[in-house]
Structure 1
Amino acid sequence: MANPWAGEVGLVIDGQRHVMKLTLGTLAELEAGVQEESLIELVERFETGRFSSRDVLMLIVAGLRGGGWQGAAEDLTRAEIDGGPLAAARAAAQLLARAFSLPGDGAA
């Protein structure tokens, strides 16, 4: 079970429940992958609903890696995510919110 107080988000992929978390290392990898100067632009895209499927995929992969997953983005190209793309986008947004908020400020 995911612990929102620890920044964790749960997601079911191919029938298996995963716990995702953005760690400092995965945030650094994510920042390099978004090809922007900081993650602020990524956060702003999610806040305004201008995010792309690539943004969602990168966040899911980073969160899975932070949770101990050893796969790669390519492993998710044919994966079945419970709830579909909308659930994946919601989980990605929760990862960002929980990584950049303090417990109790409404990001859980």
Structure 2
Amino acid sequence: MANPWRGEVALVIDGHEQVLKLTLGALAELESTLGEDTLVGLAGRFESQRFSSRDIIALLEAGLRGGGGELPEGGLAQAEIAGGPMAAARAAAELLARAFTLPET
């Protein structure tokens, strides 16, 4: 079960609930992978709804690694995500938000 106070997000991938979390290392990797100079720029993509499917996959893959889950390289692109692309986009945006804010009580 995901703990929002730890920045965790739950997502069902291939029928199994996975806990995703962005670590500092994953955030640094995302800046490089997605071609953003700052995390503010990356967050801005999601806030202004200018994100791509590549952004979503990169965030979810980083979150999986940070949460201790593993999929083979490129495995997420072939995985079945419960709720489809909208659930994946929602989870990616939530991951990014939880990395920098406390959950609402």
What range is the shorter-chain TM-score in?
over 0.9
**Divergent runs of 4+, >6 A:** none
Q: For residue 25 of structure 2, what is the aligned residue in structure 1?
A: 25
Q: TM-score, normalised by structure 2?
A: 0.93
Q: Please state how far the C-alpha of 1:71 moved relative to its aligned partner.
A: 2.7
Q: For residue 86 of structure 1, what is the aligned residue in structure 2?
A: 86
Is the 8 Å Cα contact of residues 57 and 73 (structure 1) preserved in structure 2?
Answer: no
Gaps of 5+ in 2: none
Q: Please state how far the C-alpha of 1:70 moved relative to its aligned partner.
A: 3.0
Gaps of 5+ in 1: none
The one-letter code matched in structure 1 to 2:86 is L
Q: For residue 16 of structure 1, what is the aligned residue in structure 2?
A: 16
Determine the C-alpha separation between the residues in 2 that align with 1:42 and 1:8.
Answer: 19
Q: For residue 57 of structure 2, what is the aligned residue in structure 1?
A: 57
User: Would you say 1:42 and 2:42 are equivalent positions?
Assistant: yes
Identity %: 61
Q: For residue 100 of structure 2, what is the aligned residue in structure 1?
A: 100
Q: Counterpart of 2:22 in 1: which secondary structure?
A: coil
Residue-pair matches, total? 105
Q: Structure 1, residues 36-86: CA drift from partner, whole Å, max 9, x if none?
A: 211211100101111111110110000000001233451112110000000
Q: TM-score, normalised by structure 1?
A: 0.90
Q: Counterpart of 1:77 in 2: which secondary structure?
A: helix
Over the aligned positions, Cα root-mean-square deviation in angstroms equals: 1.4
